[in-house]
Amino acid sequence: METTLKTKKEITDGEDAFMSSPVKTEKGIDSSEAIPEALSIKMEKGNDGNDNQSEASINPVDKITSLKTLGPFIASKDNTRNIRYLSDVPEICLRESCMLGVDEAGRGPVLGPMVYGIAYCPLNSKETLTDLGCADSKELTEEKRDVIFDNINTQHYANSCIGWAVEIISPNVISNNMLGRKKCSLNEISMNAAIDLIHAALEAGVNIAEVYVDTVGPPEKYQEKLQKIFPQLQITVAKKADSTFPIVSAASICAKVTRDHSLKVWQFPEGLKLTSKDFGSGYPGDPITRKFLSENVNYIFGFPRIVRFSWSTAQNALSETACVVEFDEPDSEKPKYAGPKLTTFFQSTTKTGEVQREQCRLLKERFLDSVVDF
């Protein structure tokens, strides 16, 4: 399969992954960088007839209106940075009280982004979610998830009352956060993404009344944290919420479909000419993923940035084949003081009441004694 990419860079090569300020474009899009001016991607079908994209050239898009436009939108972004997208808010969601669901996709893989998604609709629109077939995204086939996502965006009965948003968390950002001097755990990254998406929906004017979240860690502590941040909302955090609450299922489907297509249109900044068939699902147990990791280790720089360096699977592979690098750490030894420690002046007395204390250096040097009896 042949891939050709032409793009106009808008950022400097050495810029850190975190140092991006959100740029809000029209029609509900909010991402960490602007869309490149020129982008042309051409995909040819493989021998099995299944291609990652259509044979036609993909033009950059600034709005996701269907499944067909999802890939081109993601492909037009810098995949070393986080990307956030908010759909248009249905008018009814501005007036009527809504429920909002939160879920993620791609938490466990060693390759590719983790995607957080939200979906929202009026409290009285539960039947619409049922008609769409919203269920736990892990229980649905990829084809079924794609159909539901496309229907959410193209069918009037759905897009007139359901809105959604996603945060695509780059593997580069995950690695930098988890391995930096000021470490940030994956749970913290996940919670921050969920909180930011809820804030984004509120700022867009969505009349949120109830929030349902698939938990990260202990649900009680997570719920308490969210309730403090959003005291005006009724929040429920539960295990396997995506199989219990249809609105969480809708969020799960949006997140999962977005991650799947992020991998399908992944462009390697390192210049590798590979497709998703060459690196597999990204899960450590996938033999194709393991083969990709073993065959794409640079002796000095390690893996391409699609890999999460903070995963033990990646670290073990690097320890076997990559160069060992040592970093100078600041001296961790305790400073040595010239004088006595302060605690020496607070020593206990003997059984007879005498204080066992060394004479002060000032008195000792001058051959003086403390006078206690006159």
The annotated binding site for a divalent metal cation is made up of 103-104, 214
Cα–Cα dist 157/165, whole Å: 18
Q: How far is CA 206 from the centre of its chain?
A: 23
Cα–Cα dist 253/164, whole Å: 10
> Three-state SS string across 135-154, please?
CCHHHCCHHHHHHHHHHHHH
Neighbours of 178 (CB within 10 A): 17
> Mapping DSSP to helix (H, G, I), strand (E, B) and coil, where does residue 156 land?
helix
- The three-point CA angle 319-296-5 to 5° equals 145
Binding residues: 103-104, 214
DSSP secondary structure letters along 177-209: HHHSSS---HHHHHHHHHHHHHHHHHHTT--EE
Q: How far is CA 52 from the centre of its chain?
A: 24
Cα–Cα dist 328/266, whole Å: 35
Cα–Cα dist 19/36, whole Å: 18
Contacts of 130 (CB under 8 A, 6+ apart): 246
